[in-house]
Structure 1
Amino acid sequence: MFESISDQIKNYKKIVFVTGAGISQESGIHTFRGNEGLWRNYDLMKLATIDAFYENPKLVWEWYNDRRSNIFQAQPNQGHNAISELEKYAQVVVLTQNIDGLHKKAGSSNVLELHGSIVKIKCSVCDYNEDILTEISDFPPLCKCGNILRPDVVWFGEPLPQDVWQNAIDFASECDLMVIVGTSFVVSPANTLPLYAKQNNATLIEINPETTEMSGEMDEIIRNTSVEILPKLVSLFKK
């Protein structure tokens, strides 16, 4: 384990983590593609689109409210906490596809939420946006301007916020070590981030129980969960 980096661990000064649903699943958050409970009869991939929202905003909001309830109850796990702890030893940036906010809750100070945050809501028309940490009771909720509020997340077919994405590219292009955790890398453009790191001759490590689209590009692959492995990575920096 970590054979490719054990001899040079102290030389890594800029570390980027790219994280996906796998790391949060261990905190009890349902994966996006899982059909849980009363939503099992819906194609959730189709619910997460702007077309679905305008066709039936009440249904989309009910689904997101279920997700919000699940996420608000979740706590960071040992994987999240290990990434936060690693800031004691190196410059650490987290590029996450997750919308649950658990990296920030764990104490990570430099987190780029590529796909937005379920904590945030915004108006579908005006510039209003706000963090809402409570349950939403009226579906769909309305803005003061009278238009429908929506979750401040990136839906299928929508572009990533350009400032966030450009910063993600910059961090990936400058890192010494990139650790990819719990993501299948089937979603673009996040799946291009390892290529930017590779151009900088960074070491790439994948931590995932399953083979992914980018496994062939990795310098080291660890087929295990983040809860098991990330604390061991931190222990290398402590030696």
Structure 2
Amino acid sequence: MSSIPSLNQDRPSGKAQPRKIVVLSGSGISAESGLPTFRDAKGLWNTYSWQELASPAGWQRHPEAVLAFYNERRAKAWQAQPNAAHRAIASLEGAYEVVVVTQNVDALHERAGSSHVVHLHGELACVRGSAGASPRRYRIDGDPIAMGQLCEDGTQLRPDIVWFGEAVQHFDDAEMHVATAARVLVVGTSLTVYPAASLLQYASRDAEKVLVALDMEEVPHGYTFLQGKAGEIVPTLAARWLAEAGAT
């Protein structure tokens, strides 16, 4: 295991940057790679208890079960492959500064080639100690975590996942990135999970704002809704944006 460097702490200036695209992604984009979502009719929380498997209290009661659950999820995430939407988002880096702000805990954006990914809810590929306000983090990629596998501080390693009742990660950075984007692409999210869904309100009034989803009961003001599969719509949208930038 290797220690993970912290994210760049430099803040964006607050002024919209014409060559900057921010992508806000949710579990719908990974569902097209075969990974289950959480909240729809076939979602994980209709099969498993989040109170037992995704909360600090559940971890304290039966850490073995929590580790087994996330080991299975990690293995499935590593078997999955980035889809056309992930790859199209990564291709935008050929002409733009692209920041992906994701609620997803898989590494499909990175594996598709995206170089700047902000994980609000943590990462399956990482582990951390289970005590202290600022535990050391390690990257394990697709490997499992075992009981008795300890952090350098002597505590049991746990998934570096934001559980219910814990604060999301890097939210201030995400706010500023959205506020400084000339284009905002929202893909694969139901917009029902907060505070992540509130990021849409920070987009500049003048930014081009696009929402891609299979269905959406209410489209946020100022957003163009493109209905359909991300793997079909995002590549077309990315090709248009690249052409507008003069990229081939």
TM-score between both structures, scaled by the size of structure 2: 0.82
2:89 counterpart of 1:115: no
2:211 counterpart of 1:206: yes
Look up the match of 1:142. Answer: 150
2:235 counterpart of 1:228: no
Total equivalences in the alignment: 223
Q: How does 1:1-239 map to 2 (within 5 A)?
A: 13-33=19-39, 34=42, 42-44=48-50, 46-125=52-131, 127-136=135-144, 138-139=146-147, 141-161=149-169, 164-198=170-204, 200-211=205-216, 215-236=219-240, 237-238=242-243
> What are structure 2's unaligned runs of at least 5 residues?
1-16
Structure 1 runs (4+) deviating above 6 angstroms are none
Q: What secondary structure does 2:74 align onto?
A: helix
TM-score between both structures, scaled by the size of structure 1: 0.85
Identity value in percent: 36
- Please report the RMSD computed on the Cα atoms of aligned residues, expressed in angstroms: 2.2
Aligned-partner residue type, residue 208 of structure 1: A
Look up the match of 1:4. Answer: none
- Of 129-138 and 179-188, more deviation after overlay is shown by 129-138
Aligned-partner residue type, residue 186 of structure 1: T
Q: What secondary structure does 1:23 align onto?
A: helix
> What are structure 1's unaligned runs of at least 5 residues?
1-10
- Residues in 2 aligned to 1:142 and 1:173: alpha-carbon distance in whole angstroms: 40
Deviations 1:35-73 (Å, cap 9, x if unpaired)?
56xx97532365211111111111111110110110011
* Higher helix content, 1 or 2: 1
Q: What secondary structure does 1:109 align onto?
A: coil
Shift of 1:140: 6.2
Label 1:86 to 1:144 Cα distance change in 2 as closer, same or farther (>3 A).
Answer: closer
